Structure 1
Amino acid sequence: MNLEKFNEVAVKLGVLGIKVSQNGKLIAQKLWDEECRRNIYSASKSFTSCAVGLAVQEGLLSIDEKLVDVFERDLPQNVSDYLAKATVRDLLTMCLGQEHGSLMGAQRPLYAEDNWVKLSLAIPFVYEAGTHFVYNNVGPYLAGILVQRRAGCDLVSYLTPRLFQPLEIKRPTWEIDPLGNTFGAGGLFLTLSEFHKFGMLYLQKGRWNGKQLISEAWVMESTKKQVENRNDSYGYGYLFWGGENNSFRADGKYSQLSIILRDKDAVISIAAECRKPAKLMRVIFDEIYPQL
């Protein structure tokens, strides 16, 4: 694979590194900075999606459970009809029913309330769940909290034997809330190579080195179009974005990307400090995708 044309724009767009694998083999890579662990921001959500899937297959929870049941002790005094109907599935699709995004990066240091579960559930539910796509950290955060409560440990400890160790990823750092719970909506730190392994796992439908780490059914369900989103026609799964050419991806701020291309049996992963993510995505599909 020739990355020469990509190289011309990569530096201008703030790309720090790229890895491309196809048919199970690494076919291209280039680093514009040293490969260290960096914040993958909202791409962390896809790891929370994986944790939910693992918890489902272990019988710890069901995505059909209602929030008023699983978070009974954290509910506001007055539970609206929309909150009463919301389920765990709605935590994963960005269609929870709240009007604005909360627990976002610039907001988190400013909250007076340390119990973010109570804070999250007290935010008004103004839409029926499943009807309005609103990008919001509340859903994945609560999904991560539920896994932690049912498993009896933090998300890193839960995922270490089930995901990180099999992928030979040393125990990573992950942001926590004021009470010490893993913040499942963001703040996971990984190297580009570690992030790329996660993309490869999902390309292989949850199978790694001959072992099924996460069920194929969950991988396929969580990465297909579950709901429409406001940005494009490709839709949103369970904390994964749909994309062109039948792709799906884990996607974090400043273009932390692991793009899974099942039609090409390929994964493209990128670490970046990009302020023009749409332009970078266009370059990926115009310059790299045609070479696969």
Structure 2
Amino acid sequence: MEQAIFNDMMNNIKDENILNFVVVKDGKIVIDYNKKDEYKNKRFKVNSCTKSIISALIGIAIENKQIQDVHQPISDFFPEIKISGVDNRKRGITIHHLLTMTSGISWPEFGNWEFITHLVNSDNWLKFILDRPMEHNPGEIFNYSSGGSHLLSAIISKTTGMSAHSYAQKHIFEPLEIKSLTWMSDPQGNNNGGFGIEMSAYDMAKIGSLYLSKGKLEKDSLIPENWINESLEPKVLVSKALGYYGYQWWVKDLTVKGTSNTTYFAMGNGGQFILVIPSMNMVAVFISDNYEDSFRPIYYMKKYVLRMF
């Protein structure tokens, strides 16, 4: 570690709205920052990092043959979109479209977070989402949608007979010894697939480390390796600033000193991040309270973290 760069970062980070910052390199915690002592093991809302865990559960359910594959139409799980009078294009939406946020359903969330309050205040979240009009054909346009991620959570419940939380508890959380976690639900009991989890930075680091190890925990495969690879493969170019989107994971090259580091990350509004950098055998986690600049942790990664190792 370049001590001068580390010292510079630590001198600056105390003035930021970064509450927790953890870096795991070569399997060991090498940076462990808490803005306040009481934040060390505190559970925080990780917002849309929830989506990346939902993605893992879809892959596990496919591996367990509880879901056919990513091309299965969602009308298999929501037959109400097959009835007369419903836009026929909804019948063409598949799990793949939900995973890549290309369902075509009108969902003005990106840059208009207040829209989510209409979802949260509705009596039936699934009906609210499925009743939204179609804006594009499935597969045509990327449109950020927590609604689509919530449909994935409901699909997990419908196919496994377990809530997303219980399914994750069995297949991921218990093996990783993630014990302190809450996951809010909609009025019908479906765990919020878009932004419902509260967990600690250290437990987020365990999720990142599991992806770094291609889903393996010692000799056990918790998430199928082929699913990890497929999830982290760039599917849709979102923008130059944000990079690509895979299956509920972002993919972006962070270039420092002429070296490009392909980085996979879960990202939540306000500056919540799980960043996986395979070329450096590294995972970095940020918990922030910075809703004016959610992408601030990317600046810290490029200016400091990737330069100090």
**TM-score between both structures, scaled by the size of structure 1:** 0.93
Give the match's secondary structure for 2:244: coil
Q: What amino acid maps onto 1:267 in structure 2?
A: V
2:256 is matched with none
Matched, 1:166 2:175: yes
2:266 to 250, 265, 276: 250
- State the Cα distance separating 1:171 from its structure 2 match: 5.5
RMSD of the alignment, in Å?
2.0
Matched, 1:287 2:276: no
Structure-1 separation of matches of 2:289 and 2:84: 43
- State the Cα distance separating 1:242 from its structure 2 match: 1.0
Over residues 240-289 of structure 1, what are the superposed CA-to-partner deviations in whole Å (9 max), with x where a residue is unaligned? Answer: 01122211101111111110001111111111112323343122112111
- State the Cα distance separating 1:74 from its structure 2 match: 5.5
1:222 is matched with 231
Write out aligned runs for 1:141-290 (5 A): 141-170=150-179, 172-230=181-239, 232=241, 234-244=243-253, 245-274=261-290, 275-290=292-307
1:23 is matched with 26
1:72 is matched with 79
Equivalent pair of 1:174/1:189 in contact (CA under 8 Å): yes
- State the Cα distance separating 1:106 from its structure 2 match: 3.8
Q: Which moved more, 1:161-170 or 1:106-115?
A: 106-115
Give the match's secondary structure for 1:27: strand
Structure-2 separation of matches of 1:185 and 1:110: 14
Write out aligned runs for 1:29-40 (5 A): 29-33=32-36, 34-35=39-40, 36-40=42-46
Give the match's secondary structure for 2:90: helix
- State the Cα distance separating 1:142 from its structure 2 match: 0.3
Equivalent pair of 1:172/1:188 in contact (CA under 8 Å): yes
Over residues 46-93 of structure 1, what are the superposed CA-to-partner deviations in whole Å (9 max), with x where a residue is unaligned? Answer: 010011111110001121111222211365652323212111111111
Structure-2 separation of matches of 1:102 and 1:71: 22
Bigger proportion of residues as strand: 2
Q: What amino acid maps onto 1:67 in structure 2?
A: I
Over residues 9-37 of structure 1, what are the superposed CA-to-partner deviations in whole Å (9 max), with x where a residue is unaligned? Answer: 32333011111111222222111122200
1:84 is matched with 91
Equivalent pair of 2:214/2:225 in contact (CA under 8 Å): yes
Structure-2 separation of matches of 1:75 and 1:253: 34
Structure-2 separation of matches of 1:70 and 1:131: 22
Q: Give unmatched runs, 5+ long, in structure 1.
A: none
Structure-1 separation of matches of 2:11 and 2:293: 15
- State the Cα distance separating 1:101 from its structure 2 match: 3.3
Equivalent pair of 2:201/2:286 in contact (CA under 8 Å): yes
**TM-score between both structures, scaled by the size of structure 2:** 0.88
Write out aligned runs for 1:113-152 (5 A): 113-152=122-161
Give the match's secondary structure for 2:245: coil
Structure-2 separation of matches of 1:13 and 1:88: 38
Equivalent pair of 1:13/1:276 in contact (CA under 8 Å): no
Change (3 A) 1:75 1:255: farther
Q: Give unmatched runs, 5+ long, in structure 2.
A: 254-260
Q: Name the count of aligned residue pairs.
A: 292
1:56 to 53, 56, 62: 62
- State the Cα distance separating 1:167 from its structure 2 match: 0.5
Q: What amino acid maps onto 2:234 in structure 1?
A: K
Identity percentage over the alignment?
Answer: 25
2:107 is matched with 100
Q: What amino acid maps onto 1:14 in structure 2?
A: N
